[in-house]
Amino acid sequence: MKRIRQVSLLLAAAALLTCGCSRFSTKPLSFTGMAFDTVIAVQIYDSVDEEVLEHCKTMCSEYEQKFSATIETSEISQINSAGGAPVAVSEDTIELIKKGIYYSELSNGAFDITVGSVSSLWDFKSEEPIIPSPESIAEAKKHINYDKIVISNNTVTLTDPQTKIDVGAIAKGYIADRLKDYLKSQGVKHAIINLGGNVLAIGGKPDGSSFNIGIRKPFHEEEEPLTTVKIKNKSVVTSGTSQRYFEKDGNLYHHIIDPASGYPCNNGLNSVTIITNSSLTADALSTTCFLLGPDKGLRLVNQLDNVDAVFVDTNNEITYSRNFLKK
């Protein structure tokens, strides 16, 4: 077995997707750190107090304490371990779970926020990862169904005690949107938020031009992008096979788990990138469209307003959404 380290943990977040963002007359106020099992960064190109940046760090920490499935005291973990009892949680967690249910319904379960019973069987951070047994996957799949989530006011109940919520496909997008809201409230007009490759631009560059965002070539350590997109006030999020994965016996196992099979999704795609206004929308749709596959995923994007997409297949051939081609 050849263990492949997580790409997102090897690269500085500020350089993960953004290309040509450092040529400004004023040095940006920035920080780079670790959260959500990945590298995060915020760069602000306006004159603001250092406390603004510090508050962004605090926000990231607070959201991780709510949404992490690996922190036992998090609100998501409390829901998952409650044995079917109702759990009172914050408005943020309620809103995030509602968004997860929405995209589960939109995809007819191809994306399912309750995939946690299966995804928890896969450990892509281990130095010696183990493929779960077919029996354990078959048993865990029985508990995947977003209809088993009941929300009443500020409480969440799982009607199946063994069902587990997994917000990994939407949480970073939600947090990026909240960081954007805060920064804009502080008068920030030019900034880049990068949460492990979930990139969100506030405005454009101070000189009026767009940020140039590179979409990485899957499984290539070099930073040369496969293609690029120019954005202002947009988010760019990629879900792909080369973000967290391992190889065993000549087979590749990546972190995008298909709720229907319980195994990593295998449909001829290497990545899906979504470009739209909301980072949560981009985050959720990148995973949803990957799971739907190239045909159904592209069909869904083409039905949505203000959403662009870049599909990359296993031969690194690119397909753009219909609206993207009109630009």
Last residue of a domain, one of 130, 158, 186: 158
What is the CATH classification number for the domain harbouring 25? Answer: 3.10.520.10
Domain that holds residue 21: 7-66+173-325
C-alpha distances in Å from residue 127, one per residue of 5, 170, 243: 9, 26, 16
Around Cβ 98, how many Cβ atoms within 10 Å? 13
Around Cβ 208, how many Cβ atoms within 10 Å? 9
Evaluate whether residue 237 is within a structural domain. Answer: yes
The Cα–Cα gap between 264 and 83 comes to 27
Last residue of a domain, one of 96, 131, 158: 158
pLDDT tens per residue, range 254-266: 899 999 999 999 9
Reported confidence tier of residue 34, pLDDT bands at 50, 70, 90:
confident
Query: 246 and 111, same structural domain?
Result: no
Per-residue pLDDT at 253: 85
Query: 135 and 18, same structural domain?
Result: no
Yes or no: say if 48 and 42 are a contact pair by the CB < 8 Å rule.
Answer: no
Per-residue pLDDT at 1: 36
Evaluate whether residue 1 is within a structural domain. Answer: no
Is the confidence at residue 188, as pLDDT, over 90? Answer: yes
Residues 299-315: what's their mean pLDDT? 95
Per-residue pLDDT at 21: 41
Query: 205 and 134, same structural domain?
Result: no
Query: 285 and 221, same structural domain?
Result: yes
Is the confidence at residue 326, as pLDDT, over 80? Answer: no
Which residue from 148, 151, 64 is spatially nearest to 114, judged by alpha carbons? Answer: 148
Residues 181-193: what's their mean pLDDT? 97
Residues 163-175: what's their mean pLDDT? 97
Per-residue pLDDT at 169: 94
Query: 280 and 183, same structural domain?
Result: yes
Query: 87 and 43, same structural domain?
Result: no
Evaluate whether residue 163 is within a structural domain. Answer: no
Per-residue pLDDT at 25: 45
Evaluate whether residue 166 is within a structural domain. Answer: no
pLDDT, mean over the chain: 89
Yes or no: say if 60 and 32 are a contact pair by the CB < 8 Å rule.
Answer: no
Query: 98 and 54, same structural domain?
Result: no
Percent of the chain with pLDDT over 70: 90
Per-residue pLDDT at 23: 45
What is the CATH classification number for the domain harbouring 108? Answer: 1.10.3980.10
Which residue from 29, 114, 28 is spatially nearest to 79, judged by alpha carbons? Answer: 114
Is the confidence at residue 247, as pLDDT, over 70? Answer: yes
Per-residue pLDDT at 325: 60
Which residue from 118, 134, 144 is spatially nearest to 257, judged by alpha carbons? Answer: 118
Is the confidence at residue 46, as pLDDT, over 90? Answer: yes
Query: 111 and 47, same structural domain?
Result: no
Yes or no: say if 156 and 149 are a contact pair by the CB < 8 Å rule.
Answer: yes
Query: 280 and 151, same structural domain?
Result: no
The Cα–Cα gap between 324 and 200 comes to 18
Evaluate whether residue 165 is within a structural domain. Answer: no
Evaluate whether residue 87 is within a structural domain. Answer: yes
Name the 3-class secondary structure at 55. Answer: helix
Query: 224 and 270, same structural domain?
Result: yes
Query: 278 and 215, same structural domain?
Result: yes
Query: 140 and 32, same structural domain?
Result: no
Q: Which residue has the higher pLDDT, 39 or 4?
A: 39
pLDDT tens per residue, range 80-133: 999 999 999 999 999 999 999 999 999 999 999 999 999 999 998 888 889 999
C-alpha distances in Å from residue 115, one per residue of 17, 103, 120, 168, 301: 28, 13, 8, 10, 23
Bridge partners of 228, per DSSP, are 214
